[in-house]
Amino acid sequence: MNIKKYLFAAALGSLALATSCRSEDPAPEPTPTPPATTVDPVNEFVWKAMNSWYYWQANVPTLADSYKNDAAKYAALLNGKTPDKLFYGSLLYEYGKTDRFSWIENNNKIIEASARTAEVESITGLELSLFPKGGGSANYVALVNYVVPGSSAAIAGVKRGDVITKINGTYLTQTNYGGLFGDSFTITRAETATSAVIGNAYVVTTTDKNENIPIVKTNIDENPIAFYKVFEMGGKKIGYLVYNGFKIDYNDELNVQFAKMKADGITDLILDLRYNGGGSLTSASGLATMISGNTSSNYVYLEYNSKHPNWSGYDPLLPNIDIYNVVNGHPEKTGSQPINTVALPKVYVLVSYQTASASELTVIALNKIIPVETIGYVTVGKFVGSHTLYDSPNDNWVSYEKRNTSHNWKLQPITFKYYNSAKDPHPTVTYADGTVEEGILPKSGNRVHPYQWIGNVKEFGATTDPELKRALELITGQPVSRMAVPFVETTQKVISQEKNTSGLHIDDINDYLKRKRN
């Protein structure tokens, strides 16, 4: 977007000395032109919306209420830069550390945060984790966590558990693995792939297939209800549900899924949130009722900044769930349905380093309603949320319908923190080097490192999957299969594909204010 540049000029008049003037008279001082104080209107929207709603507004000096009182300083801040440069460069609190999740977007198609994963997207269908091979190798491998049905990857026969070793005929490295998220490329998969512990670290060994599979992005509306199966083991009927996103326009299908679970007579539930980066608060609250049967308790407490005390409060569990369609990127409520529930006394949740936001909320908040046992490894630690801000100053920056349509900028800053109903401190993890970060870490007997997935995860439901295996054993008290690769505590990092999700967000502002409890 082009930003006006304001030019400052001082007009100095020529000094004409009359012959009658005395030579000792001083020359008159020129009158300086004051600095321009007109500000870029789009950047002013960004500043004012952030000043009103940003959770850490009080911690950012450039967002102080008094900052705009100095017109010249205010203009200098807002002018001469694009809105995203202003946003990321001047208005966030400890960006990348305290605030890792706020974003701004200029999109010709306005898409609400709650609809970002609900819309038809251009995707390859590959959801990946990237692993350094270790053992002194500079190469990486990419594990296919799952493949979206109907995508080019699915049509090409790529499956969950496949290990990718090459892109465009070249081994994966730190410098080229980003190409796996591009518009088109080729991949080579491993013929064999194993992970072993050498010393105190995981090392991956592969052999290659002779192939170059073309992958391209296509338009797909991904269903977050990725897989469901019933295991009949140890006298129990165990439901296994893979849920990959709290997508508001799939609330009705999620409700139907729980009606099926109830008809199947499940006695226990394993909820797989390993690849779920979050989404709708409405969907998260509805899921809690579907699992627990609770329709009246406070579920989660939302804490806003001091400018919005009326927004802070409890979001309760309800007997009905709102149903939405997404029209032109905007969620539109079409009605509500009574919630189908299996009313279980306990739930087992599979988590990973990709489990974030509304998924983490499900763990810490549902655990106050019924016991939640986690299996996997440390989660993201995203105990914050947001709602979309538009250039609609007369409606507190939250109205999509009354937004200024002369531009397409919108904001998704962090606007609240969330807590469970007891307002307990967020769980933290202490690492070997003394670093403390927020996140959910399963108890020691339930920990599975992502490196243990390699060679073990197959299609969803295969009991070689180490996390599913552990959950089944906890429920039945019976061994399921032998785990070839042991768990070790390690600082080795795994890189995940950035999913198109905004984390936990408020969907319908008015409905939230109506249902919340102070």
Condensed to tens digits (0 to 9), the pLDDT of residues 385-417 reads: 998 999 999 999 999 889 999 999 999 999 999
Mean pLDDT along residues 114-133: 76
> Does residue 432 or residue 251 have the better pLDDT?
251
Give the rounded percent of residues in the chain with a pLDDT score beyond 90: 77
Helix (H, G, I), strand (E, B) or coil at 426: coil
Looking at residue 37, its pLDDT comes to: 73
**In this model, does residue 35 exceed pLDDT 70?**
no
Which range, 10-24, 119-133, 350-364, is most confident?
Answer: 350-364
Phi and psi angles of residue 441, each rounded to the nearest 5 degrees, phi first: -115, 115
Would you say 63 and 92 are in contact if contact means Cβ atoms under 8 Å apart? Answer: no
Question: Is the distance from CB of 242 to CB of 227 less than 8 angstroms?
Answer: yes
DSSP labels, 55-96? TTGGG-GGG-GGGGGSHHHHHHHHSSS-HHHHHHHHSSSSBT
| pTM attached to this predicted model | 0.88
Lowest mean pLDDT among 26-30, 36-40, 417-421, 487-491: 26-30
Quote helix, strand, coil % in the chain, to nearest 5: 25, 30, 50
pLDDT at 518: 60
Mean pLDDT of the chain: 88
Half-sphere exposure for 7 (CA within 13 Å, toward CB) = 3
Q: Which domains does the chain have, with CATH numbers?
A: 41-100 (no CATH), 121-220 (2.30.42.10), 225-482+502-515 (3.90.226.10)
pLDDT band at 120 (very low <50, low <70, confident <90, very high): low
- Report CA-CA distances (Å) from 140 to 159, 204, 370: 19, 9, 40
Residue ranges of alpha helices (H) inside 104-162 are: 152-155
Mean pLDDT value across residues 413-427: 97
Per-residue confidence at 332, pLDDT binned at 50, 70, 90? Answer: confident
